[in-house]
Structure 1
Amino acid sequence: MAIRNLSNLRAPKKANENKKRVGRGMGSGMGKTSTRGHKGQGSRSGSSLMRGFEGGQMPLHRRLPKRGFTNIFRVEYQVLGLDRVAEIVAAENVSEFTLEKIIDLGLLRKKGALLKVLNNGEIKTAVTIHAHKFSKTAQEAIEKAGGKAILIG
């Protein structure tokens, strides 16, 4: 392949094509009905159909049954397991996990997210963990290892 420089640059395919101009006479190939066809709902001016309109047939989103319930007061937490905490303590020798430190280590994906610590795995070293919520067993495991579970907010 030849080296690209200003002398052999080309526009991408279809980049130089003109916009479709409808209703500009028979010779354009898009005159008379202006690509709308003859008669029918879509041929009239002001025609706009709602999303999911199926020509009068009952739309799919209304044919399917409604299921369940969405709790508008639900609070979502990002979870952190004690197994991951133990891995990081072993690898990086960290004794305090503040929210900023947890974000820096890449354990919390969203910056403004709430953090909940769960007890999956074992922790043997004393660590201080700052989080918005702790499971009861996680709090017991941290305190049993000689650490502290500090609630934020």
Structure 2
Amino acid sequence: MRLNTFEGSNNKKSVRVGRGIGSGLGKTCGRGVKGAGARKSAHKRPGFEGGQMPLKIRLPKFGFWSPKSDVTAEVTLNDLNRIEGDVVDMAALVANRLITKKIKYVKIVLSRVPNFNKKITVKGLGVTKGAKAAIEAAGGSVEVAKYITDAAERLEASNKKSAAKQQARIDALNAAPKLRPAKKTAEQKAAKKAAAGK
């Protein structure tokens, strides 16, 4: 017993084209007359519409979409008044239903109408400059998240590397000898004057 012997299996016989006009698939073998589709190697790229403007170009573009936005959230400073306790971290935000469990990155932003005067300690969260100033003015403190400090370190290292490469290029250009064109001999100058006179 084999899988291809089961009833209903894909054991349909392949169509044999080019076996006489009576079969309906003789001569051109169902490919029509002339054109790209009638050739042996008529491999069209995906989305090709025969020269017509493809659908992928006709449709408008919608810009960039970051997958990180699904796991990122913002919490206003006034929302922190609802948190009981002095420490504000990811666990406290989830417990007070300010964010969901799938959120991995949080940034605390300043409210349009600031109404915050609670002394808290922020740990492991991103904080804007205005929100940080308001928290410190209320007597609190902010411990910046590790992923933010790591990103700042990576950016600084990248800038240093780029500056070092640029300086190396400048040093290489300055160290290279400046080549001047060789002086022409009297014979070459005379030949040039003679050519100009002609």
TM-score normalised by the chain length of structure 1: 0.53
Q: Which amino acid aligns with 1:83?
A: N
Contact 2:124–2:145 (CA under 8 A) maintained in structure 1: yes
In the alignment, structure 1 residue 143 sits paired with structure 2 residue 136: yes
Question: Does 1:78 find its partner at 2:73?
Answer: yes
Which of the numbers 46, 50, 55 marks the counterpart of 1:60? Answer: 55
Deviation string, structure 1 residues 44-84 (Cα, Å, up to 9, x no partner): 8886654432232121333568797x6x9xx8653221122
Which residues of structure 2 form unaligned runs of 5+?
1-6, 16-22, 147-198
3-state SS of paired residue (2:56): helix
Q: Sequence identity of aligned pairs in percent?
A: 25
Q: Describe the SS at the equivalent of 1:86.
A: helix
Q: Distance in 1 between matches of 2:96 and 2:39?
A: 60
Unaligned runs of 5+ in 1: 1-16, 26-30
Query: Which residue in 1 is equivalent to 2:115?
Result: 122
Change in CA separation of 1:53 and 1:146 when aligned onto 2, cut-off 3 Å? same
Partner AA of 1:95 in structure 2: D
Q: CA deviation at 1:122?
A: 2.5
Count of residue pairs brought into register by the alignment: 121
Q: 1:122 to 1:140 in 2, by over 3 A?
A: same
Q: Kindly indicate whether residue 89 of structure 2 is the aligned counterpart of residue 94 of structure 1.
A: no
Check the 8 A contact 1:78/1:108 in 2, yes or no.
no
Over the aligned positions, Cα root-mean-square deviation in angstroms equals: 4.2
Q: 1:134 aligns with which of 118, 121, 127?
A: 127
Q: Is the 8 A contact 1:98 1:129 kept in 2?
A: yes
Aligned amino acid, residue 122 of structure 2 = I
CA contact (8 A) 2:90 2:125 kept: no
Instruction: Label 1:147 to 1:54 Cα distance change in 2 as closer, same or farther (>3 A).
Output: same
Q: 1:39 to 1:138 in 2, by over 3 A?
A: same
Q: Which residue of 2 aligns with 1:38?
A: 30
